[in-house]
Structure 1
Amino acid sequence: MNQRNKLRIAHFGRYGEGSTDIVKSMLLSLREMGHIVQEWDTGTHPEWVSNPYKRHGGNGPVYILLDLIRNELMDFKPDLIICNAGGHTFTLRDMNWLKSRKIQILGITLSDPDVMNTVSKYSKNFTWHATNSLVAYEEYKKRKFTNIYYMPFGIDYRFFKERSPISKYKTDVAIIGHGRKDRYPIVEALCKNFDVRLYGNEWPYSHYSMGPVRGDEWFKAAYSAKILINFPRTIKGYTNVKVGILEAAATGKLLFTEYFDEMQGLFEYGHEIIGYNSKKDLIEKIKHYLLHSEEAERIGQNAKARCLRDHTWVQRFNKLFLELNIF
């Protein structure tokens, strides 16, 4: 990247999942691209934000208190401010003040379509707004939003680094994600049929549950499994491409997820990932690939290669910034 393409970016976000959190991955990728990034971690400094409606889970508004940070922010002289997920935004008054100084503001939503009902109430105030969900993007377009862009999930360079299995975490099947009632029937069947490890909260299977993993522990868990399972349904019941798909694919482990149309734009079923349409189908396919380890490894490595070629955050941001014409 040449000098004229370097942006000065003030990045606001929090890292609920620690160093492997998606928001942290995005910040690291912006730096990898050569941009000069000022980090505003609102998880470490909750005093920088106000949450008047007690919103959580990506819902907003969660207002960044410009009056508290104005001097440091303006001393940095940002070309672009990114309000990354968590419902982060500015009040309309503060948004207009920033825009009047020719500072452009990009809002990024990572929990759509679940949070669209709250975020859509203020997202028109951003210079641009990017959503992770194709469903939400199409709904925004129907509502005549002119600043909306679709940016699928990506992955950062750390997830591609090969790691050796750790005996504590070795297993045939791993699920890295929190337990929910809609997931219990399939997970219960998996536990009865295979050597399984569950990483996350709210799993009622004490013999298999290892608790949540973050940072280096996430990598140990993922790279010590033969097969990773992803559940694409959101809390509100939407079927959606989630970041866990990219995280799992980047490891080169064999990845299973349900069949759904949006996934086919990212990975090829049967060649890069394995789809299933029922509990019985999933169990039969897992048995097959545990018996055919070379085939499983080949498919997993195909997914890793596709992820590295097409689905990094660097590629996502490059495409978005070109569309926004902000270089």
Structure 2
Amino acid sequence: MPIGKTKRSRTSSSYNAGFLEGAAQGKSDGRWQGQCEAIMQATQLPVQKRPVHILYVASGKELPYSSLDQGIAAALAEAAERTTVMQPTDPVVPFAIGERPDLVLVLDGTRFEAENVQLLRMHGIRTAVWLTDDPYYMSFTSGYAPLFDYVFTPERNCVPVYQQLGAANVVNLPLGIHPGSYRPRNARRELRGDVCFIGSAYRNRLELFRTILPALSHRKLHISGYWWEQLEIPPSFNGTFGPGRWMDPLETAENYSANRIAINIHRAIDDERNENDILIPAASPNPRTFEISACGTLQLVDAREDIGSYYVPDEEIVTYGSVEELLGKLEHYLTHEEERQRIAWRALLRTMRDHTFAARVSRLLDTAQLG
């Protein structure tokens, strides 16, 4: 056979194989994206503004708190006829005394002086704090949270503690997601992979990945976040590694969307970075639980007692209780694509329907009997 003909045949064969592979991938991506977009549109419901003025005092912190501030402020702007956003260092008290908002809502509260809360209440202005990290910093929050008229905590087990400390109105209200940030995204091809973990390398997370990495050498992984330089990456590691980086919500959402499974590992209650002297056990899901589910990605999360209050296990979210169960379920869902996608789509629907900041703000305002 002439050499030129052999080259043409090989080129044609490679082209055809690449064309078929690309067509199949494009069809799969289009189906995934189309279903996600249909869910997003089906859950976009009109919000009726309430005739109230909310003064929102932001956390005053950088990422990840600044992204929470943006999402909550956007949800308040949709829900209330008037929303004012201020920083903890702004003249909140004089402004509130002059404008008489229906509620002063403070996020986190560690940078808002306790004296300000007392002055606001002395002038008959209702106050609320929405805590972000319970129960991990209760050595701090227990000192100022009970000063507010309303305490909203993301941890169910913290409710009776604040009540015992004298807080009159305590409600378990987890954080949520802002669909403008966390939503399914058409991720760049170079980011595509099998499994990802995004978050800080707390001790229990380090220990888990040291154990499971050898078993996942045949999978493309992505690991990123603060303190991961402590993790020794084996030569067999296949994927991307970003220690010392904190991604903003848009980049985080793209990376979640790029991977078929996202692992979520809750922070240990006895981690040395905590400030929780009384070691209140945690039962409620962390914010990542909602953020991952909002991106149309299957989530494998370590089991917590209260997760079933937010997602149906094995239908909308997948839990594990041991390393062996985690590895087994990773392998199962990476080889059962239809089942994996169906669970992820159900989680997306549940999240956009029930777990947005708009839904959380609505419940918060209902609790305060506003509007």
**TM-score, normalising length from structure 1?**
0.83
Q: How does 1:101-140 map to 2 (within 5 A)?
A: 101-140=123-162
Match of 1:80 in 2: 103
Distance 1:142 1:6 in 2: 31
Would you say the 8 A contact 1:12–1:40 is kept in 2? yes
Uncovered stretches (5+) of structure 1, i.e. residues with no partner? 43-47, 49-64
Match of 1:249 in 2: 293
Tell me the secondary structure at the aligned position of residue 122 of structure 1.
helix
Distance 1:117 1:319 in 2: 27
Would you say the 8 A contact 1:12–1:88 is kept in 2? no
Would you say the 8 A contact 1:159–1:247 is kept in 2? no
Match of 2:84 in 1: 38
Distance 1:128 1:19 in 2: 20
Q: Which moved more, 1:208-217 or 1:223-232?
A: 208-217
Matched, 1:89 2:112: yes
Deviation at 1:267, TM superposition (A): 0.7
Pick from 231, 241, 248 the counterpart of residue 209 of structure 1.
Answer: 241
Q: Which amino acid aligns with 1:37?
A: T
The 1:225/1:19 distance shift into structure 2, 3 A limit, reads: farther
**Bigger Rg over Cα:** 2
Deviation at 1:72, TM superposition (A): 5.1
Q: Deviations over 1:30-82 (max 9, x none)?
A: 1222442222245xxxxx2xxxxxxxxxxxxxxxx74xx55555565533212
Aligned-residue sequence identity (percent) comes to 20
Tell me the secondary structure at the aligned position of residue 82 of structure 1.
strand
Would you say the 8 A contact 1:256–1:274 is kept in 2? yes
Q: How does 1:277-316 map to 2 (within 5 A)?
A: 277-316=321-360
Pick from 187, 208, 215 the counterpart of residue 186 of structure 1.
Answer: 208
How many residues are matched? Answer: 303
Distance 1:4 1:184 in 2: 46
Match of 2:27 in 1: none
Would you say the 8 A contact 2:135–2:158 is kept in 1? yes
**TM-score, normalising length from structure 2?**
0.74
Distance 2:170 2:183 in 1: 34
Match of 2:68 in 1: 22
Tell me the secondary structure at the aligned position of residue 180 of structure 2.
helix
Distance 1:225 1:3 in 2: 37
Deviation at 1:231, TM superposition (A): 0.9
Match of 1:60 in 2: none
Distance 1:119 1:19 in 2: 16
Q: Which moved more, 1:18-27 or 1:294-303?
A: 18-27
Uncovered stretches (5+) of structure 2, i.e. residues with no partner? 1-46, 272-280
Deviation at 1:119, TM superposition (A): 1.6
Deviation at 1:128, TM superposition (A): 1.3
Deviation at 1:295, TM superposition (A): 0.6
Match of 1:228 in 2: 262
Q: Which amino acid aligns with 1:80?
A: L
Q: Which amino acid aligns with 1:209?
A: F
Q: Which moved more, 1:292-301 or 1:193-202?
A: 193-202
Q: How does 1:128-167 map to 2 (within 5 A)?
A: 128-159=150-181, 161-167=183-189
Distance 1:11 1:28 in 2: 13
